[in-house]
Amino acid sequence: MKLLGRREFLESSLLATSGLALIYPRSTRAADSRVEILVNEPVAEISPNIYGHFVEHLGAVVYDGIWVGENSRIANINGIRQSLVEALKRIKAPLFRYPGGCFADSYNWRDGIGERTKRPRRTNFWYGVAGKDVPENSTSRVEPNEFGTNEFLRFCQLVGGKPYLAANLRSLPAQDFLEWVEYCNSPAGSTTLADQRERGPLGSREPFGVEFWGIGNESWGCGGNLLPDEYAQEFRRYTAAVPGYKFPQKFIGAGASSDDLNWTRGFFERMREKGEDIFRKVYGWGIHHYSWNVAGGRTNDWNDAKGDAVKFNPEQYYELLREADKIERFLLEHWTIMGEYDRQHRVKIAVDEWGSWHRPGSELKPAHLLGQQNTMRDALVAALSLDIFNRHADKIVMANIAQLVNCLHSLFLADGDKFLLTPTYHVFEMYTPHMGAKNVRAVFSVPQIKYDRNGKSTDFWGLSGSASVKGKQLALTVTNPHMGEKRETEIVVRGARIASAAARVLSTGDVHAHNTFENPRAVEPRSETVTVKNDTLVFNFAPASVTLLQLNLL
Ligand code: AHR
């Protein structure tokens, strides 16, 4: 995130220019499209951690989103929203990054341990950035620290996901990082911090066993305004001698934003000066990519180029998908540079922040800083991004959509006892068959589609997706981006025979459709029957849809 020009966070004005009413005629493209799945051409196992999440002390992500408090009327487990835990278990949520984001580099983990009533209240990072625009009663102004390390780790345990903690590199010395590791992971009763861990609310005698540690966040910006070689030096210093106890250590470097290849090159070049073995210290290189610019090339201004979350016109619809799609090229470019220095590709990519970022105005309440609604368009962004990550399963070890609840590209919205699943949640649920499955090559031969971009006709792909195999089960997920046309497509499996198939489809007649507390099931997937004839199936992908085809192989 760029620190300048953040005043827009709480602007409530809606984008006036939306062309919501433009309806495309409904028609079907004849089967000029084909997807061939090559089951004997495996890429790699898809790490379940690609389906990870991100939790920051920001807006209403933690307070109200996750933490309702032990004495709340809202159903909770140890103060943690029960409906959220249950919904996350259904999608087998594997990983949670915490406590930021930019907040992480302002956070002292000691503030969030011990008796809750004695924990200090602190100025939240986001108050420093957004200033008077942060509402008086917001926890983004004054951080109460009711939710800290034990609460977060308890949340992870309840869901069954792994924690990924981001250390403060900007404003605390390395010693504090080492002590946070000691607090979390040193053996029962062995250290003063292990005793503190046990004594605290939601205390644990046994170590938490945290494996994933982020070394700062966006150190090129809010995490310190460092240069790449300065960051390489800090990374080496912070990770030089961290007690492992008996747990694996997976350090993640604060990588680049989108196409900032200089940051990646600078870091890898300076690291390499210590010899190639230094890369053993880097489990993942974090890449952040937000889809926010829907201006169709008219501007790249961080504020002006964004559009409304719900009221967007067809051009803005396609532009958001195009922005999301760029990540594939960025990942390949970073990967190539990484391989120039780390020739064995020991370091993999961690896309530890990604998603749609719209202009303010659709948040449930002013206190929900960076909160936004989530439509079918965001579901398509999620689907095409997850398909890209699946296709590059050999390079990507984790990804964390930003952020879990009441924030940017959220799976949930919550307000008091009201709670709903967004269309993006349904995409994650539909994609669970890919988790831990083997990605196999799928060749999409599909004509391009066209839309009007700033007065010029522009191409975009007609269908995109990914395929994976687990035992005799094949999962194919496909996004049809066209706002108005179905796409009849022949699906062919090479190297196996299809016994039967079933489909789940997420689509509505309107790409602006979203779930509200009044109508929480406006967008949800439906099952469709699929006929297989002579080993081939022909499927009609609905306009603006996400589809899961599950094939039983012989
Ligand atoms: O997700 C919101 C912010 O976006 C994060 O705090 C920061 O890392 C990024 O710029």
What spatial distance separates the first Cα and last Cα of the chain, rounded to whole Å? 49
With a Cβ cut-off of 6 Å, ligand 1 is lined by 1, 56, 100-102, 217-218, 353, 402-403, 408
* Ligand 1 center from residue 402 Cα (angstroms): 8
Q: What tokens were used for 135?
A: 């509402």
* Ligand 1 center from residue 413 Cα (angstroms): 19
Protein residue with its CA nearest to atom 8 in ligand 1: 101
Task: Please give the number of the atom of ligand 1 that sits closest to the Cα of 223.
Answer: 8
Q: How many Å separate Cα 7 from the centre of its chain? A: 24
Task: Report how far residue 49's alpha carbon sits from residue 348's, in angstroms, rounded to the nearest whole number.
Answer: 13
- 8 Å CB contact between 494 and 443: no
Task: Please give the number of the atom of ligand 1 that sits closest to the Cα of 370.
Answer: 2
Protein residue with its CA nearest to atom 9 in ligand 1: 1
* Ligand 1 center from residue 25 Cα (angstroms): 39
Q: What tokens were used for 520?
A: 């929480």
Exposed/middle/buried for residue 241 (C-beta within 10 Å: 0-12, 13-18, 19+) = exposed
Protein residue with its CA nearest to atom 2 in ligand 1: 101
Q: What is the pLDDT of residues 42-59, one digit of tens each?
A: 999 999 999 999 999 999
Region of 141 (left: φ > 0; alpha: ψ -120 to 50; beta: rest) is alpha
* Ligand 1 center from residue 1 Cα (angstroms): 5
DSSP 224: T
Task: Report how far residue 217's alpha carbon sits from residue 100's, in angstroms, rounded to the nearest whole number.
Answer: 8
Protein residue with its CA nearest to atom 10 in ligand 1: 1
Q: Which of 8, 56, 127, 410 to mutate to test the pocket of ligand 1 (most atoms within 8 A of CB)?
A: 56
- pLDDT (tens, 9 = 90+) of the chain, 554 residues, equals 444 332 233 222 222 222 232 333 344 545 789 999 999 999 999 999 999 999 999 999 999 999 999 999 999 999 999 999 999 999 999 999 999 999 999 999 999 999 999 999 999 999 988 888 898 889 999 999 999 999 999 999 999 999 999 999 999 999 999 999 999 999 999 999 999 999 989 999 999 999 999 999 999 999 999 999 999 999 999 999 999 999 999 999 999 999 999 999 999 999 999 999 999 999 999 999 999 999 999 999 999 999 999 999 999 999 999 999 999 999 999 999 999 999 999 999 999 999 999 999 999 999 999 999 999 999 999 999 999 999 999 999 999 999 999 999 999 999 999 999 999 999 999 999 999 999 999 999 999 999 999 999 999 999 999 999 999 999 999 999 999 999 999 999 999 999 999 999 999 989 999 999 999 999 999 999 998 988 889 999 999 999 999 999 99
Helix or strand (DSSP H, E) at 35:
strand 27-45
Q: Which of 554, 450, 517 is nearest to 24 (CA)?
A: 450
* Ligand 1 center from residue 164 Cα (angstroms): 16
Task: Please give the number of the atom of ligand 1 that sits closest to the Cα of 103.
Answer: 6
Query: What pLDDT is stored for residue 79 in this prediction?
Result: 98
Please list the active-site residues: 218, 353
* Ligand 1 center from residue 79 Cα (angstroms): 26
Q: Which of 97, 127, 220, 222 to mutate to test the pocket of ligand 1 (most atoms within 8 A of CB)?
A: 222
Q: How many Å separate Cα 141 from the centre of its chain? A: 25
Task: Please give the number of the atom of ligand 1 that sits closest to the Cα of 353.
Answer: 1
Q: Which of 386, 392, 383, 387 is nearest to 348 (CA)?
A: 392
Neighbours of 336 (CB within 10 A): 11
Strand order from edge to edge, sheet including 526-529: 526-529, 498-506, 545-553, 473-480, 464-470, 438-445, 27-45, 485-494, 536-541, 532-533
Q: What is the pLDDT of residues 452-467, one digit of tens each?
A: 999 999 999 999 999 9
Residue 126 Cα distances to 104, 146, 184, 252, angstroms:
11, 17, 26, 23
Task: Please give the number of the atom of ligand 1 that sits closest to the Cα of 1.
Answer: 10
